[in-house]
Chains A and B, each alone.
Chain A
Amino acid sequence: MDNIVPILNFCAAAFALGGILLLAVKRRIPTRLQTNFLFFGGGILFLVALLNFLEHTNLASSPDEGENFLITVFFPIFIFAIYSAVVKEEFENKKEIEDKTLRTNNLLNGMFEAIPILLILWDRQTQQLTINKEVEKRLGWEEEELKEIDLFNALLANSGDLERAREAARNFEGIWNEYPIKTKTGEIRTQRWTRLALDENISIGIGIDITEQKRINLSLQKERRRFELISKSANDVLYEWDLETDTVWWSQGWITSFGFKEEEVGDSFKWLRTIIHPEDFEDLDRHYDSIKDSNLNSWYHTYRIIGSDGDIIHVKDTGYFIRNDDGKAIELVGALENVTEEKHAKQLLQQSKERYETFFKKNPMPLIIFDEDSLSIIEANDALLQLYEYSQKELQKLTVYDLYEAEHWDKFQWLANKYRGIPSPRTEFKVRTKSNKVLNLEITTTPINYLNKEFRLAAVKDITKQREAEAKAFSSFVEGENKERSRLAREIHDGIIQYLAASKMNLTALKYKLDDFTDDEKELFENGVAYLKQAMNETRDISHNLMPPILEDYGLALAVKTLVEDFEKGSKIECNYFQNIEDISMPKENQINVYRITQECLNNILKHSEATSVSIQLIHDNSEFFLTVEDNGIGFDIDSDDYISGLGLSGIRSRVLSMGGYLDIDSKINQGSVFTIRLPLTTANKEVS
Chain B
Amino acid sequence: MNPVHLLIADDHKIVRDGIRHLLKGQENLTIVGEAENGEEALRKIETEEINLTIMDINMPVMDGIEATRIIKKEFPAVKVLALTMVDENQYIRKMIEAGASGYVLKSCSKEDLIEAIEKVVSGHHYFSRDVTETILSDMVNPSLDTHTKKNEIQITNREMDVLRLIVNEYTNQEIAEELFVSIRTVDAHRRNLLQKIGAKNTAGLVKYALEKQLF
Contacts and interface: CB of A to CB of B under 8 A. Distances in A.
B158 A564 contact: no
Contact of B90 (A504, A562, A574): A562
B188 A678 contact: yes
A676 B185 contact: yes
Given A550-B91, A577-B146, A508 B195 contact: no
Interface string B155-184: 011100000000000000000100011111
Interface in A395-433: 406-407, 409-410
A568 B18 contact: no
B143 A505 contact: no
Contacts of B188: 626, 628, 664, 676, 678
A410 B189 CA distance: 16
A243 to B, nearest CB: 71
B85 A554 contact: no
Chain B contact residues, majority secondary structure: helix
Interface in B1-47: 11-12, 14-15, 17-19, 21-22, 24-25
A107 interface: no
B129 interface: no
Nearest to A671: B180
Given A410-B176, A493-B58, A509-B22, A666 B181 contact: yes
B14 A499 contact: yes
Interface stretch (A152-160, A598-606, A613-621): A613-621
Nearest to B110: A508
A565 B85 contact: no
A164 B22 CA distance: 159
B147 A549 contact: no
A621 B191 contact: yes
Contacts of A549: 58, 86, 88
Contacts of B191: 619, 621, 624, 626
Nearest to A498: B12
Contact of A505 (B19, B146, B187): B19
Interface string B84-120: 0110111100100000000000110110000000000
A549 B85 CA distance: 11
Contact of B138 (A565, A577, A668): A565
Given A508-B110, A550-B88, A626-B192, A664 B182 contact: yes
A351 B137 CA distance: 82
Contact of A574 (B24, B110, B143): B143
Interface residues of A, number: 60
A17 to B, nearest CB: 134
B141 interface: yes
Given A569-B137, A580-B195, A668-B180, A561 B15 contact: no
B107 A565 contact: no
Contacts of B182: 407, 410, 664, 666
Contacts of A621: 191, 194-195
Contact of A630 (B21, B138, B156, B176): B156
Contacts of B63: 553
Interface in A501-520: 501-506, 508-509, 511-512
B93 to A, nearest CB: 10
Interface in A527-582: 533, 536-537, 540, 548-550, 553-554, 558, 561-562, 564-565, 568-569, 574-580
Interface string B183-211: 11101110110111000000000000000
B14 A576 contact: no
A575 B109 contact: no
Interface string A635-654: 00000000000000000000
Interface string A285-326: 000000000000000000000000000000000000000000
Interface in B121-165: 137-138, 141, 143-147, 154, 156-158
Contacts of A540: 85-86
A568 B144 CA distance: 9
A498 B89 contact: no
A511 B110 contact: yes
B15 to A, nearest CB: 5
Contact of A406 (B90, B183, B195): B183
B194 to A, nearest CB: 7
Contacts of A678: 184, 188
Nearest to A539: B85
A508 B154 contact: no
Contacts of B110: 508-509, 511
A577 B85 contact: no
Nearest to B63: A553
A619 B86 CA distance: 28
Contacts of A597: none
A577 B144 contact: yes
Interface in A481-510: 493-494, 497-499, 501-506, 508-509
Given A497-B85, A501-B106, A568-B141, A576 B194 contact: no
A662 interface: yes
A511 B182 CA distance: 65
Given A509-B24, A509-B110, A540-B85, A672 B144 contact: no
B141 A498 contact: no
Contacts of B11: 494
B90 A554 contact: yes
A38 interface: no
B58 A407 contact: no
A537 B87 CA distance: 10
B15 A674 contact: no
A609 interface: no
A677 to B, nearest CB: 9
Nearest to B108: A533
Contact of B15 (A505, A554, A628): A505
- Give the most central of B11, B63, B106: most A CB within 10 Å: B106
Contacts of A203: none
A516 to B, nearest CB: 16
Contacts of B18: 501-506, 509
Contacts of A533: 107
A536 B90 contact: no
A628 B90 contact: no
A508 B22 contact: yes
24 contacts: A406-B187, A498-B14, A502-B12, A502-B15, A505-B21, A506-B21, A508-B22, A508-B110, A509-B110, A550-B90, A562-B90, A569-B137, A575-B144, A577-B144, A577-B145, A577-B146, A578-B196, A580-B147, A617-B192, A621-B194, A621-B195, A630-B158, A664-B182, A664-B185
Interface of A: 406-407, 409-410, 493-494, 497-499, 501-506, 508-509, 511-512, 533, 536-537, 540, 548-550, 553-554, 558, 561-562, 564-565, 568-569, 574-580, 615, 617, 619-621, 624, 626, 628, 630, 632, 662, 664, 666, 668, 672, 674, 676, 678
Given A407-B187, A577-B145, 5 more contacts: A493-B58, A511-B110, A537-B107, A666-B182, A676-B184
